[in-house]
């Protein structure tokens, strides 16, 4: 045992030396995760996604510079060690990517196949309000002409009436259905299902229309499948609990086994508006809380063994047992990135206790970031990676401010009469300061990824954090353990009045007129300014790095960037057409399966509600073959035509201007169309001119299957030194024109 401890001690010393200040006077090793991440970006961006490499490069560099905090010494000191780190970091990043792609990653569904027989093995299963989501692997497809097998992992939507016999994880199932490629999201910064599926190794989507049979294969389950089956067992046990309210069930499923989709949508939206979404899914907060409570309970247990306490120092043993409890929780959560980061941090903390090392620092955070990047290369383009690490960086930066020396003196003075008061005050003070600082620091990333910034997160955290720390989480954990072992749900039900009280309090807070700031998706130039301002703050204030953070974020002109002037979106396969009209009014043609597309548009355009026009003939079910656009300064006419030449027409004109309706109808020969007023075409063109009508025809072949097309109405100068109105045609994610369509004039 002593030899093993000696060996581990030497390994820890080597790691500590590698990431120590004495080994590299300029904090070279704090650049290590940046080097690894850059090598991963070089591999991932061109090959796997359509995310802008410049934006991610700037974003990632900013995060790593916050960690390193000293830029100039790297270039002023000797570069030999830095070059070694550069070579090692790039080599490890490239090796990690190659191993992941060749051995862990699989291909993508390239084309849709309808009404085929599908044979597969169930990899996972989740329940929805309308049925189930079936995650299948080892797909074998058979149609009327041929059959083939692909190493895909596909998510199928299944109606609960069709899945009469619910399979278990590992079962073999055969059914009739369709399979589709994954569509790319409409705009960077919004929820992108393709990116989400990429992180979760999902290669396609589909639906089931008829189940033939299922075949049990319980004896052939792998360890991962057994863990997934156990998580599913816990989920079903909570779901079928007879005396547990639906609210407690949803919170238990979310916070115990990581099934966040179980939460009601209004609850999730309520917490998100208050900046409390991190409380609803397993994160570092819950992991740290579990470690604290596990350590506290185990300490009380071992405290009874006075003989052991006198002979041995049991704190390392208690810490290791607490880490084991956290590992079980990590397994139940599905190894999510924030939880994994917190678990690695706790493990390093316990190693520091065992070997008397202080490793709660930026260097330990650098080690954690490197481990996560090497084990999960795609984390480099995950929003959770940046938000999680930036939050921890903020906590490290203000740890001496949160609890001052004066407060420390009162807390550790057993004779102080007001000790409890100081402990409570230090906790509340920590929540207030950390909430304010973290909200400011991560706000640019919230704008980039989600388009909103919660304004009342400080109030929400002050109310919710103590209640979750000392009431909700302990009762849920203890109640779930007792319920799984004995079936008694009395302790679990104690959380219901607490959660309902929080719900009512949050509703009162949300009655304040402004609870969140909606900001348009910012252009790439914003992040160039972000990066330049940060570099400038380090150069000017490298000795006062904490002030440099404040300087950086004060100088950001977030509110001065205009909204996008895009006026029309066309989804892949022309299943949805969305037209931007003046104010908060929207004319849409859509089908029911494109709700996610519309939700993304809400965030992009900053609205809460759409005015919808369902295109029953062209878009719904049958699909559009081409789009005809006729326009002049009077207005805009859009006509969708399907393969059977059935069409629907829409006219967009400035509000209540009969002359413009007559002008457009006469010049462009527009008849029998749905007239949608309040259209300003983003340029407030409201003058009647006797100009000729222009046309633009977009066929299905011009719409990329993996991209979203968007159109912009622009004024350009013509040969007569005047202004001309043209529509330019773009595709996501490129900002340059994909096609420059100069529409001909019609005599």
Of residues 96 and 187, more confidence is placed in 96
pLDDT of the residue at 519: 65
Contact 547, 541 (CB under 8 A): yes
Over residues 497-505, the mean pLDDT reads 88
Listed ranges 17-31, 206-220, 261-275, 674-688; the one with the highest mean pLDDT: 261-275
Residue 467 has pLDDT above 80, yes or no: yes
Of residues 706 and 256, more confidence is placed in 256
pLDDT of the residue at 610: 52
DSSP 282-345: --HHHHHHHHHHHHHHHHHHHTT-HHHHHHS--HHHHHHHHHHHHHHHHHHHT--HHHHHHHHH
Residue 524 has pLDDT above 50, yes or no: yes
pLDDT of the residue at 516: 72
Question: How many angstroms separate the CA atoms of 220 and 227, rounded?
Answer: 13
| 88 three-class SS | helix
Residue 380 has pLDDT above 70, yes or no: yes
Q: Which two tokens stand for residue 444?
A: 């640019």
pLDDT of the residue at 562: 35
The 10s digit of each residue's pLDDT in 612-641 is 544 444 333 445 566 666 666 556 666 666
Number of other CB atoms surrounding residue 17 within 10 Å: 12
**Among 105-109, 359-363, 436-440, 654-658, whose mean pLDDT is lowest?**
654-658
Over residues 383-395, the mean pLDDT reads 74
Give yes or no for a cis peptide into 708 (omega within 30° of 0). no
Question: Can you give the pTM of this predicted structure?
Answer: 0.60
Report residue 480's pLDDT band, with 50, 70 and 90 as the boundaries.
confident
Residue 377 has pLDDT above 70, yes or no: yes
Report residue 685's pLDDT band, with 50, 70 and 90 as the boundaries.
very low
pLDDT of the residue at 226: 73
Of residues 298 and 542, more confidence is placed in 298
Residue 187 has pLDDT above 70, yes or no: no
Q: Which two tokens stand for residue 212?
A: 């033939």
Report residue 665's pLDDT band, with 50, 70 and 90 as the boundaries.
low
Question: How many angstroms separate the CA atoms of 684 and 686, rounded?
Answer: 6
Question: How many angstroms separate the CA atoms of 350 and 122, rounded?
Answer: 38
DSSP 400-461: HHHS-HHHHHHHT-TT-TTHHHHHHHHHHHHHHHHHHHHHHHHHHHHHHHHSEEES-HHHHH
The 10s digit of each residue's pLDDT in 399-414 is 666 655 555 555 455 5
Of residues 443 and 337, more confidence is placed in 443
Sign of the alpha-carbon dihedral angle for 247, 250, 256, 258: negative
| Domains of the chain with CATH codes | 2-104 (no CATH), 113-221 (2.40.50), 239-518 (no CATH), 524-560 (no CATH), 566-731 (no CATH)
- Point out which residues pair with 149 in neighbouring strands: 140
Q: Rounded to 5 degrees, what are φ and ψ at 21? A: -70, -30
The 10s digit of each residue's pLDDT in 129-168 is 677 888 887 788 776 555 566 667 888 888 877 777 777 7
The 10s digit of each residue's pLDDT in 707-724 is 456 565 555 444 444 455
Over residues 28-36, the mean pLDDT reads 68
Question: How many angstroms separate the CA atoms of 308 and 13, rounded?
Answer: 30
Q: Average pLDDT over the chain, rounded to whole?
A: 65
- Point out which residues pair with 709 in neighbouring strands: 570, 731
- Point out which residues pair with 648 in neighbouring strands: 640
Provide the 8-state DSSP code for 248: H
Of residues 444 and 73, more confidence is placed in 444
Q: Rounded to 5 degrees, what are φ and ψ at 146? A: -150, 175
């Amino acid at each position: 045992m002593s030899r093993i401890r000696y060996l581990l001690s030497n390994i820890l010393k080597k790691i500590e030396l590698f990431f120590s200040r004495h080994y590299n006077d300029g904090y070279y090793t704090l650049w290590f995760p940046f080097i690894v991440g850059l090598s991963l970006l070089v591999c991932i961006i061109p090959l796997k996604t359509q995310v802008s490499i410049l934006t991610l490069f700037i974003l990632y560099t900013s995060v790593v510079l916050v960690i390193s905090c000293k830029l100039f010494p790297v270039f002023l000191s000797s570069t030999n060690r830095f070059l070694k780190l550069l070579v090692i970091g790039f080599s490890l990043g490239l090796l990690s990517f190659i191993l992941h792609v060749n051995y862990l990653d699989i291909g993508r569904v390239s084309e849709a196949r309808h009404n085929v027989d599908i044979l597969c093995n169930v990899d996972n299963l989740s329940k929805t309000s309308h049925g189930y989501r079936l995650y299948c692997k080892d797909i074998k497809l058979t149609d009327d002409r041929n059959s083939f097998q692909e190493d895909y992992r596909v998510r199928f939507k299944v109606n609960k009436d069709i899945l009469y016999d619910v399979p278990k994880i590992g079962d073999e199932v055969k059914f009739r259905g369709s399979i589709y490629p994954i569509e790319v999201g409409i705009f960077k910064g919004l929820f992108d299902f393709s990116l989400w599926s990429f992180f979760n190794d999902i290669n396609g989507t589909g639906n089931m229309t008829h189940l033939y049979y299922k075949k049990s294969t319980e004896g052939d389950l792998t360890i991962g499948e057994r863990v997934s089956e156990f998580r599913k067992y816990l989920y079903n046990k909570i779901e079928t609990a007879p005396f547990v309210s639906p609210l407690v069930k949803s919170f238990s499923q979310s916070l115990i086994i990581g099934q966040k989709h179980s939460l009601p949508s209004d609850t999730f939206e309520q917490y998100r508006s208050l900046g409390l979404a991190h409380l609803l899914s397993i994160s570092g907060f819950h992991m740290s809380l579990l470690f604290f409570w596990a350590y506290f309970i185990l300490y009380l247990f071992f405290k009874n063994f006075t003989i052991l306490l006198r002979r041995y120092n049991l704190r390392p043993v208690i810490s290791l047992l607490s880490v084991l409890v956290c590992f079980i929780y990590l397994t139940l959560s599905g190894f999510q990135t924030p939880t994994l980061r917190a678990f690695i941090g706790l493990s390093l903390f316990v190693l520091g206790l065992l070997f008397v090392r202080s490793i709660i620092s930026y260097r330990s955070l650098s080690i954690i970031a490197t481990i996560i990047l090497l084990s999960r290369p795609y984390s480099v383009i995950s929003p959770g990676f940046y938000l999680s690490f930036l939050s921890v960086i903020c906590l490290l930066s203000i740890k001496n401010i949160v609890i001052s020396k004066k407060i420390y003196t009162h807390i550790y003075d057993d004779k102080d009469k007001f000790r409890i008061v100081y402990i409570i005050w230090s906790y509340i003070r920590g929540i207030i300061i950390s909430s304010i600082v973290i909200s400011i620091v991560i706000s640019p990333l919230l704008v980039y990824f989600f388009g909103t910034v919660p304004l009342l997160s400080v109030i929400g955290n002050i109310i919710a954090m103590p209640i979750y720390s000392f009431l909700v989480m302990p009762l849920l954990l203890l109640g779930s353990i007792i319920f799984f072992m004995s079936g008694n749900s009395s302790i679990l039900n104690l959380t219901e009045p607490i959660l309902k009280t929080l719900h009512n309090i949050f509703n009162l807070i949300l009655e304040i007129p402004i609870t969140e700031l909606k900001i348009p998706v910012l252009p790439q130039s914003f992040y160039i300014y972000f990066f330049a301002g940060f570099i400038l703050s380090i150069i000017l204030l490298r000795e006062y790095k904490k002030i440099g953070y404040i300087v950086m974020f004060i100088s950001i002109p977030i509110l001065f960037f205009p909204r996008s002037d895009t006026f029309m979106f066309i989804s892949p396969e022309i299943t949805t057409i969305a037209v931007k009209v003046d104010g908060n009014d929207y004319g849409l043609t859509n089908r029911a399966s494109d709700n996610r597309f519309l939700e993304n548009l809400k965030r992009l355009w900053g609205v809460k509600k759409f005015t919808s026009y369902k295109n029953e003939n062209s878009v719904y079910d049958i699909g559009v073959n081409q789009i005809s656009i006729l326009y002049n300064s009077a207005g805009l006419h859009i006509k969708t035509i399907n393969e059977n030449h059935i069409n629907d027409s829409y006219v967009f004109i400035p509000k209540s201007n009969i002359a413009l309706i007559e002008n457009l109808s006469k010049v462009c020969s527009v008849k029998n169309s749905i007239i949608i007023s309040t259209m300003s075409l983003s340029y407030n063109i409201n003058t009647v001119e006797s100009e000729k009508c222009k046309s633009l025809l977009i066929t299905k072949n011009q719409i990329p299957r993996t991209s979203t097309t968007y159109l912009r109405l622009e004024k350009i100068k013509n040969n007569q030194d005047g202004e001309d109105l043209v529509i330019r045609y773009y595709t996501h994610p490129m900002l340059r024109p994909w096609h420059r369509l100069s529409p001909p004039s019609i005599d």
